Structure 1
């Protein structure tokens, strides 16, 4: 960070920060995230302006020992990083057993770092960081989605008189490449299986359009299965 900066250097830093945050924000908007282009741009440019303020105040830092003013300029960017935590926390939503918006919060924090880099004059490092962010958000997204992982769901089956046995239903679930975690059954009589509630797990890519294992639909065709309810 140079001691004195020119208007052209200020303009270049702001321009690079604007372009970098716009690219990241466009990616977030494409995937309908709550923090899109405008949010990322505001966060990044605010951090850039803060570091420009630090740079402009550097000539005032070396005051004489008789001065009653003591400047700790690094508190300014630290305050920015602390403040972005509140915005990031607001972007995270807890939904049942999952947390939504963690990547959005991390992107806001990352955009803030880029703003501090550009504002502090580390232009090459900021540009490299922008390309790394683009690689993570664009290139790695489909790769991450294609990695198989465990999913869980709850299946409830309602059976009529003369319907399938528990063993038949269990065999159908296992044929759908699912593993049973818990099994609860209800009988109206010693021979009539009325309802089965099964918590199960299966492995599949992490795509947003996945709802349930396709093989479970064959359970609907079993004679005596009157109700089929799926919950995730």
Structure 2
């Protein structure tokens, strides 16, 4: 960290931080997450500005007998990372009947904070290395992960009348369609005979197109309502 940075040096730090955070934030923006490009830029720039402020306040000489009390400006990164934990926790959402969402977004916010600290201290090479690895992780490894995990989570909700298929028939139909049941919710109305089923499954279907299983279930007698979510 240079002890006496000039405005050119500070401007270069801010420019590198802004560009790196914007590029990494594009991934969250295209995924339509709550914390998009603007959020990642603000988080990264906040860390960068705070660290540059600490750099400018860093004492360059020893303390004299008549000096005022001095603060340890190196505590700034610790406070920034601690506060970042609250923002990251707010990006994580757990649905009542589904998986946890927002973990990658929270990790991205924490990552750009550390990257902003690197740029703010003038460690441009280290910040650039962090940017490259972050870009590789968010964009390139996304396709590797999609290839490894061919099954996607989906939810099928059924409302059946009294003459609707039994639970055994539903399970057999799902098994024939090569899906794995993770969780199941059942509701019975004894008076009307109406039944509701919600299956949380692993499916190989494409997110944009309902699988043939949907048409098969929809064509069964007694199926009053069917919802497919993926």
Distance in 2, Cα, partners of 1:127 & 1:206: 38
Distance in 2, Cα, partners of 1:123 & 1:187: 65
- Cross-structure match for 1:49: 49
- Equivalent residue runs for 1:139-158 within 5 Å: 139-146=140-147, 147-149=149-151, 151=153, 153=155, 155-156=157-158, 158=160
- Aligned pair count? 226
TM-score by length of 2: 0.78
Distance in 1, Cα, partners of 2:24 & 2:146: 19
Distance in 2, Cα, partners of 1:101 & 1:165: 37
- Cross-structure match for 1:219: 217
Distance in 2, Cα, partners of 1:38 & 1:183: 39
Which piece of structure 1 moves more, 127-136 or 177-186?
177-186
- Cross-structure match for 1:102: 103
TM-score by length of 1: 0.77
Distance in 2, Cα, partners of 1:204 & 1:68: 66
Structure 2, unmatched stretches of 5+, are: none
Q: Deviations over 1:46-90 (max 9, x none)?
A: 211111122222235631366441331221111111222222233
- Cross-structure match for 2:179: 178
Bigger-Rg structure (1/2)? 1
Report if the CA contact (8 A) 1:160-1:226 is conserved: no
Distance in 2, Cα, partners of 1:145 & 1:225: 37
Pairwise CA distance, 1:175: 0.9
Report if the CA contact (8 A) 2:159-2:223 is conserved: yes
Matched residue of 1:227: which SS?
strand
Q: Would the alpha carbon gap of residues 210 and 88 (structure 1) be closer, same or farther in structure 2, given more than 3 Å must change?
A: farther
Structure 1, unmatched stretches of 5+, are: 189-193
